[in-house]
C-alpha cells in the first residue's frame, strides 16, 4: 500500500545505495538532504551529480524520481561540538564514542523528513542507518529507529514507516546490494560520484572512490570494497 517514499540522501555510498533500493521498490521516490554546517559539505554537491547520473543511466528509475529537498539545519552545527562540524582531529571520547558523533542528528533528520513527507503525501522514510559496520552512533541503532517510527506516527497521526535496508549489512554486503540493484554501472557510479570521507577530501582517487583514506568513514568504505571484490 505504501508506494511513495522519501529517501534521506546525503550523497554518500550508503544513502545512494538506499536510493537505488527505493527506486527499485516504490512507484514514486523523492529525496531530502540537510545542510548542517558539516565539514564535508562537498557531499551536497556530489548528491546532485549522483541524481543526474541516475536519471541518465537508469531511465526506468528516472520516471519514478521526484522532487529533491534541501533543508537548512545550520542550527544543528551551531549547537554541536564535534569533529564533523568543526576543524578538529578525529578522536575517541571518554564515553566511548568518536567525536564525529553529532548528538541528535538522525533524530532531527527523520523528524524534519517526516514533516516534509506528511506535506508531500509520502508514507515511507528510507535511511542508510546501520549498526553492523558503523562508528557506534546510538542514533543509527535499530531500536532507536523503531522507537522513532512509533513517535513520528503518533505525532503525525498517520502511519510513518521508517525503512533501513542496510541495518544488518556490512559494507561488503552494501557494495553487493548496489550490484544486485544496478549491476556494474551502479557500482561504478557509487565509486566515482558518491562521497563518504569525513574530511571532505576528494583529491585522491582510490579503487573504492575518493577520500583521505584515513578517517573512519574511509576505513569502512575501503575495507568493505576490498572484501566485496575479494568475494567476486
Q: Give the CA-trace dihedral at 95, 99, 196, 212, to 10 degrees.
A: -120
Residue 53 grid coordinates: 547520473
- The continuous run of DSSP H or E covering 109 comes out as helix 105-120
Q: If 0-12 CB within 10 Å is exposed, 13-18 middle and 19+ buried, where does residue 27 land?
A: exposed
Rounded to whole angstroms, the Cα distance separating 82 from 91 reads 10
Count of alpha carbons within 13 Å of 227, Cβ hemisphere only?
A: 15
Rounded to whole angstroms, the Cα distance separating 223 from 215 reads 12
The beta strands (E) that lie in 114-160 are given as: 124-126
In tens, the pLDDT along 114-167 reads 999 999 999 999 999 999 988 889 999 999 999 999 999 999 999 999 999 999
Q: What is the mean pLDDT of residues 197-207?
A: 96
Q: What is the mean pLDDT of residues 4-12?
A: 97
CATH 3.40.50.620 fits 4-231, yes or no: yes
Say if residue 106's pLDDT is above 90: yes
Who's near 134: CB < 8 A, 6+ residues apart? Answer: 140, 220
Amino acid at each position: 500500500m505504501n508506494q511513495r517514499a522519501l529517501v534521506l540522501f546525503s550523497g554518500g555510498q550508503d544513502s545512494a545505495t538506499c536510493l537505488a533500493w527505493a527506486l527499485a521498490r516504490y512507484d514514486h521516490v523523492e529525496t531530502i538532504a540537510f545542510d548542517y554546517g558539516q565539514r564535508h559539505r562537498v557531499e551536497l554537491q556530489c548528491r546532485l551529480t549522483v541524481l543526474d547520473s541516475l536519471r541518465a543511466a537508469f531511465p526506468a528509475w528516472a520516471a519514478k524520481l521526484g522532487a529533491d529537498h534541501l533543508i537548512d539545519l545550520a542550527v544543528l552545527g551551531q549547537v554541536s561540538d564535534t569533529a564533523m562540524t568543526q576543524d578538529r582531529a578525529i578522536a575517541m571520547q571518554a564515553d566511548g564514542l568518536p567525536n564525529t558523533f553529532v548528538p541528535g542528528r538522525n533524530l532531527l533528520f527523520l523528524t524534519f523528513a517526516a514533516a516534509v513527507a506528511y506535506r508531500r503525501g509520502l508514507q515511507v522514510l528510507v535511511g542508510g542507518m546501520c549498526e553492523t559496520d558503523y562508528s557506534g552512533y546510538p542514533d543509527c541503532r535499530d531500536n532507536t529507529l523503531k522507537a522513532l517510527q512509533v513517535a513520528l506516527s503518533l505525532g503525525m497521526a498517520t502511519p510513518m514507516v521508517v525503512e533501513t535496508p542496510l541495518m544488518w549489512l556490512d559494507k561488503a554486503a552494501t557494495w553487493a546490494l548496489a550490484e544486485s540493484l544496478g549491476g556494474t554501472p551502479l557500482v561504478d557510479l557509487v565509486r566515482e560520484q558518491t562521497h563518504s570521507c569525513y574530511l571532505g577530501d576528494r583529491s585522491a582517487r582510490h579503487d573504492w572512490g575518493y577520500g583521505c583514506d584515513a578517517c573512519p568513514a574511509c576505513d569502512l568504505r575501503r575495507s568493505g570494497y576490498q572484501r566485496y571484490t575479494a568475494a567476486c
